[in-house]
Structure 1
Amino acid sequence: MNSSIGGGSVYTGPPPAVTAKKLSKTYGYVKACDEVDIELFRGEIHGILGENGAGKSTLMKMLIGLVLPDGGSIAINGEPVVIRDPLDAAGLGIGMVHQHFSLVEALTVWENVALGDNSKLDRSEIRVRVAELSEQYGLDVNPDDRVEDLPVGMRQRVELLKCLRKDPSVLILDEPTSVLTPEESEQWFASLRRVVEEENRAVALVSHRLSEVLQATDRITIMRNGAVIERCWTKDTDAHSLARGMVGRDVDVGFKEVKQSRKDSSKVSSGPSEENVEGSEKKFVLELSNVVTSSSSGVRELDGFSLGVKAGEIFGLAGVEGNGQSALVEVLSGLRTVLSGSVFLQAKEVSHNNFGRLAENGVAVIPEDRHDSGVVLGMSVAENLLFSNLEEGYKHGLLNKSRRDKRARELIEKFEINCTGPEALLWSLSGGNQQRVVLARETSDKPIVLIASQPTRGLDVGAIEYMTGQLQDLAKSGVGVLLISSELDEIFSLADRIGVIFRGKLAASMNREDANRESLGLLMGRGEV
């Protein structure tokens, strides 16, 4: 194939579906892409790996027409082209599923899928097509559901449907399985592989999951600091080599290694040792009993949900997104009204009128979507760091800038946030550093309970290593951690006890050593083994 990774052989077949040569893009003094070359071949899935800020997104945005390159060239099927905007890209057969959504919440699924069509809309035809695509790819989306009533997981599936309906010959996927169960992910990639080979499409898969890239791709390109560091055939590499190429050093590449390290350090099979939790005696610090909530349309989201989290443990709550996780986080954030049931904090019942004060009483939350409810991108690092503790920067209602910035610098140093200083705007930080801002704000005063919802979503391997280490350290210090995740690897490695949420109920709860992938997968998919 390509001479750079094919052991010296020369490719003599049809031209690549996409050929990019010396693509460059500079923002100020930062080279987001520095003369990047890449080829996407029909019938192949090409993995694009790199840390946040490596240039992956900028490269893909140039291919899709969202960003104009400063230099370089693009050819489609060997013919030079200029891609000025996404309409040009769509006309050339290039489609992209973005990690961050571009949906109109007030519209239904089928209406969002139809947005952008220039032809006359046939409602029944579009609804049927959406249902067919949903079934074909195992996405389980109702065309008539209103997007504002859908959780994050379902919204990403709608983004997938929007792209697939246009039948692109080149498909760029940004974290396509982050909301699917392991079984659904396998089905998705089996369907994708069939479509790629039988329909001769070219696919670029941007993913932070090394196991996923190794399983699904044919070849891999690794980027770092805006440049291509390495190209390889998937069959000739492994997770450790890929991780080293991504970050330039040896790192823990899988949650399996993290789990073993934790066992060795705690010397117990389920949870940190008692001496690490001074005076707690493993008491419940958070309990929910028969909690019921409903959506604005009256649909039950939590339906008699019960759960307990102990001091000094990580309770891992697994489940396919859309089964009540978002409602649970909103209840514990004080943002959702509880119709019935009880919440206890350190054995004291929290009245329904005081849910809004949970944060004041020691409940910290890392939300599932940091851009939606975790940070304000247009505000500074300092402002974002002190949202939950305004007295740090204000005195008698007036801003004390020096005091605020002093505290912000302390947190920036402690949590190793890579930014130019307290005044840096949040949007200028990588995803991993934005998540560190959220973590610093929520945990700097040591909460009683931390609710961590999808805390490693969209993070690269280095940022994941940092985040998982922080969660473990918090548990060892006595904080009760409720880890809500659709990543089974993450659940297995970090959790002391594991539960599964299904249709708003706790379907099962068990110690980590009693759990296995098969049973958890069945519980996540149908609520029973």
Structure 2
Amino acid sequence: MAPEPALRLRGITKKYGTVIACDNVDLTVERGEIHGLLGENGAGKSTLMRILLGLETRDAGTVARDGHTVTITGPRDAAAHGIGMVHQHLSLIDPLTVWENVVLGDPGPVRRAAARAGVRAVAEHYGLVIDPDAPVGTLSAGERQRVELIKCLRRDPAVLIMDEPTSVLTRAESAELFTVLRRAVTAEDRAVVLISHKLTEITTATDRVTVMRAGRVVLRRTTAATTETELARQMIDRETTTPGTPPHPTPPAAPAAPGAALRLTGLTVPPGLNDLHLTVQPGEIAGLYGPEGNGQKTLEDILSGLTVPHAGTVEIAGTAVDLHRPGALTAAGLGIVPEDRHRTGIIADLNVAQNLLMTRLGDVSGRVLIDRRRLHRQAQALVDEYGITTHSLDTPLRHLSGGNQQRVVLARALSGRPRVLVAAQPTHGLDVGAAEDLYTRLRRCAVDGIAVLIISTDLDELLALTTRLAVILHGRIVGELPTAQADPQQLGLLIGGAT
């Protein structure tokens, strides 16, 4: 007889009032396979996985592991049944070191030397380079994701669920991760569920794929028997021009301008940045590319006003900004879409209106207090303009999908009519439809004369969106070239230290 599947979900249903998040969902995952799970933000994928981990209570349906029906009431139950998950939104404790975060929650006494050695062994086995003694608060988003992966893999799960695992990894890092996963499912007989919005990633890394839309399964197929075009159409129920990549051609290069909209000169913050110089012209979309952890996060913190550099200047439209003064960058005309919207882009417990206008409270204030009518009027205008889907302006932002949260961040950044827009990993965790909408808005910014700087590890995204690429390595720009002349080999040489 054929072995039972590693995981079988049958008839999973979950309702929130009148909203059906999961509607009679079936999902089967075999040992020795990587199973892709696709769907737009809000399609029901996250709810399904939360039910599997015991974080949500299902209204109907069953869960079986290796043919045995199981009851899972929380993450400990899930782990006991051999189910582990690396979440898209990381939950680490910043003051603790890498190894302390990894062993957090282990029963019994913790032996430091053994714990550090164990973390290092798992990291080396899976090719996840990390310093066990580094405080998590000092790590980039990509490095933090490696910590979550190590934390999960250390528990040796039979079923491993990975939610957007490569969203902040470079192409080379992603390829290495999938090589390791393929070896794990083949040699170690694991089952992997890969949740990803990158269609190329799904078609190249998985064996079978399930597509969800509006809470229901709309497609089950072996990956070899489908295409990116079909998957995109099934996900969003309409045609996309080029699945997985920006749908329009790269905009024309910005015309020569008398002065840069953004000029970074000699920015230094040891050990993150080392004498970084970069300019962006009005109407230009420039890209900053490089392996995660080479100073991108430090640069983002400077441009967010969270870090003051030890040396160097930031000029907006030819005027140096006083980086010691809170709010000076925003006042000078810089808008920012941060890499990790949940840490620095939104306040999840505030409502939609408050998040949209939090940087412009003077526009909606009366003599003493905030004018609620004015707040709602301006917020509603932004909701309409940016296509933000929400039941109410008073809905806490945590209840919105990832794509709608990102629209809130972008709407707030652009509502102040900035001269410069900086977007870090702008499509992190977004599905094809939401990413297309964001690409269109970024191009519109350039057409309107805004200087756009995209900081990303997604090379395909940068090649399709930008007119010029700058490569960052060890905290400094090591090369710049027109996007039309860029190819992976050239960029690989620059990242490898060639000049």
Aligned residues: 499
Q: Secondary structure of 2:212's match?
A: strand
Normalising to structure 1: TM-score of the pair? 0.92
| Alpha-carbon distance, 1:127 to partner | 1.2
Conservation of the 8 A alpha-carbon contact between 1:42 and 1:196 = yes
Q: Kindly provide the amino acid, as one letter, of the partner of residue 218 in structure 1.
A: D
Is this contact kept in 2: 1:182–1:521, CA < 8 A?
Answer: no
Query: C-alpha separation between the residues in 2 aligned to 1:284 and 1:436?
Result: 27
Match of 1:112 among 96, 101, 111: 101
- Deviation (angstroms), 1:46: 0.4
Q: Deviations over 1:193-222 (max 9, x none)?
A: 011011111110011110101111000000
Q: Which runs of 5+ in 2 are unaligned?
A: none
Q: Which amino acid aligns with 1:37?
A: D
Alignment partner for residue 333 of structure 2, among 362, 371, 376?
362
Partners of 2:333 and 2:73 in 1: how far apart?
A: 50
2:390, 2:400 within 8 Å by CA — same for their partners in 1?
yes
For residue 453 of structure 1, what is the aligned residue in structure 2? Answer: 424
Bigger CA drift: 26-35 or 249-258? 249-258
C-alpha displacement at 1:528, in angstroms? 3.1
1:38 pairs with one of 27, 30, 38: 27
1:51-99 deviations in whole A, cap 9, x for unaligned?
0110101111111222221111111111111111111111111111111
8 Å contact from structure 1 (residues 21, 73) kept in 2: yes
Question: Aligned partners of 1:496 and 1:181: how far apart in 2?
Answer: 20
Relative to structure 2, which stretch is displaced further, 445-454 or 112-121? 112-121
CA distance in 2, matches of 1:46, 1:441: 37
State whether structure 2 residue 363 is matched by structure 1 residue 392.
yes
- Give the structure 2 partner of residue 9 of structure 1: none
**Partner residue in 2 for 1:101:** 90
Aligned partner of 2:265 in structure 1 is 289
Structure 2 partner of 1:431: 402
Question: Quick check: 1:153–1:321 contact (8 Å CA) kept in 2?
Answer: yes
Are residues 1:262 and 2:249 paired?
yes
Asked whether the equivalents of residues 409 and 421 of structure 1 are also in contact (C-alpha less than 8 Å), the reply is no
Q: Which amino acid aligns with 1:456?
A: T
* CA distance, structure 1, for counterparts of residue 79 and residue 246 of structure 2: 42
Partner of 2:435: 464
For residue 141 of structure 2, what is the amino acid of its counterpart?
A: V
Alpha-carbon distance between aligned partners in 2 of 1:175 and 1:46, rounded to the nearest angstrom = 13
Partner of 2:192: 203
The equivalent of 1:307 in structure 2 is 278
Equivalent-residue separation in structure 2 for 1:351 and 1:19 (angstroms): 58
Matched letter for residue 263 of structure 2: E
Structure 2: how far apart are the matches of 1:362 and 1:413? 23
1:335 pairs with 2:324: no
Q: Tell me the amino acid that sits aligned with residue 390 of structure 1.
A: L
Please give the residue correspondences for 1:24-103 in structure 2 after superposition, counting only pairs within 5 Å: 24-103=13-92
Cα 1:472–1:114, aligned 2, differ >3 Å: closer, same or farther?
same
Q: Percent identity?
A: 45
CA 1:339–1:126 in 2, change beyond 3 Å: closer, same or farther? same
Query: Which one-letter code corresponds to 1:221 in the other structure?
Result: T
Three-state SS of the structure 2 residue aligned to 1:189 is helix
Shift of residue 282, structure 1, vs aligned partner: 6.4
In the alignment, does 2:315 pair up with 1:344?
A: yes
Deviation at 1:257, TM superposition (A): 5.8
1:403-444 deviations in Å (ceiling 9; x for gaps): 111111111111111112322221121110111111111102
**Conserved in 2, the CA contact under 8 Å of 1:331 and 1:355?**
no
Matched, 1:13 2:8: no
Query: Could you tell me whether the CA contact under 8 Å between 2:246 and 2:436 is conserved in 1?
Result: no
Partner SS for 1:48: strand
8 A Cα contact 1:138 1:184, kept in partner? no
1:226 deviation in Å? Answer: 0.8
For 1:81-135, what per-residue CA distance to the aligned partner results, in whole angstroms no more than 9, with x for missing partners?
1111111111111111111112111111111111111133222222112112212
Encode CA deviations 1:432-491: one digit per residue, 9 max, x unaligned.
Answer: 011111111110232100010111100011000000110011011100001001100111
For 1:16, give the aligned amino acid: P
Deviation string, structure 1 residues 32-64 (Cα, Å, up to 9, x no partner): 111111111000000000001101011111112
Unaligned runs of 5+ in 1: 1-11, 275-279, 295-299
Q: Tell me the equivalent position of 1:443.
A: 414
1: CA distance between counterparts of 2:326 and 2:461?
A: 29
Asked if the contact 2:246–2:439 (Cα under 8 Å) also holds between the matched residues in 1, the reply is no
Q: Say whether the 8 Å CA contact 1:175–1:458 is kept in structure 2.
A: yes
SS at match of 1:398: coil
Aligned: 1:416 with 2:387 = yes
Structure 1 counterpart of 2:449, from 465, 478, 494: 478
Which position in structure 2 is the counterpart of 1:528? Answer: 498
Counterpart residue identity of residue 285, structure 1: A
C-alpha change, 1:393 and 1:257, in structure 2 (3 Å) is closer
- The TM-score with structure 2 as length reference comes to 0.97
How far apart are residue 256 of structure 1 and its match?
A: 5.2
* Mapped partners of 1:73, 1:423: distance in 2: 36
Amino acid at match of 1:446: R
Q: Distance in 1 between matches of 2:15 and 2:387?
A: 26
Residue among 124, 140, 144 paired with 2:133: 144
Q: 1:451 aligns to what SS in structure 2?
A: strand
2:205 corresponds to: 216
C-alpha distance in 2 between matches for 1:99 and 1:145: 21
Q: In structure 1, what is the equivalent of residue 171 of structure 2?
A: 182
Shift in alpha-carbon separation, 1:238–1:283, aligned structure 2, 3 A: farther
Secondary structure in structure 1 of the residue aligned to 2:106 = coil
1:492 aligns to what? 463
1:511 is matched with which residue: 482, 493, 496?
Answer: 482
Partners of 1:419 and 1:252 lie apart in 2 by 27
8 Å Cα contact 2:269-2:311 kept in structure 1: yes
The root-mean-square deviation of aligned C-alpha atoms, in Å, is 1.5
Contact kept, 8 Å, 2:86 with 2:149, in 1: the verdict is yes
- What residue identity is the alignment partner of 2:15? T
1:354 deviates by 4.0
Cα shift at 1:355: 6.6
Q: Which amino acid aligns with 1:165?
A: R
8 Å contact from structure 1 (residues 392, 407) kept in 2? no
